[in-house]
Amino acid sequence: MSTDPKVLNRLIPDGKDEIKTLTKLFAQGYSSVFTAETPNIKIVKNDPDDNKFIECAVALDSKIIISGEKYLKRIKKYFDIKIISHREFIENYQ
């Protein structure tokens, strides 16, 4: 997840308190990582551009994808990777 304020503001419109909570959680040890090499996964049929999030999570052995993308969130889980909203993340990991 990006901690760029523009991305967070788009993800959580009118949610300044939630943005503060998310950035606090990241500062406490949750982190973002990046990869250039990912597998080719085609699981999100209604919005194929969202496949990149699952591809990155698989490549980096992630356990959680935090997303506001509706078709991605409908999958809920891909193998052992949970796909949750920012609110679910705050509720479960705070």
pLDDT tens digit sequence for 44-92:
999 999 999 999 999 999 999 989 899 999 999 999 999 999 889 888 8
- pTM over 0.85? The answer is no
Other CB atoms closer than 10 Å to residue 38's CB: what's the count? 16
4: left (phi over 0), alpha (psi -120 to 50) or beta: beta
- Whether the Cβ atoms of residue 83 and residue 65 lie closer than 8 Å to each other: yes
Strand (E) or helix (H) holding 45? none
With H, G, I as helix, E, B as strand and everything else as coil, classify residue 78.
Answer: strand
With H, G, I as helix, E, B as strand and everything else as coil, classify residue 84.
Answer: strand
pLDDT, mean of residues 23-32: 67
Domain ranges of the chain: 5-93
Could you give phi then psi for residue 5, rounded to 5 degrees? -55, -35
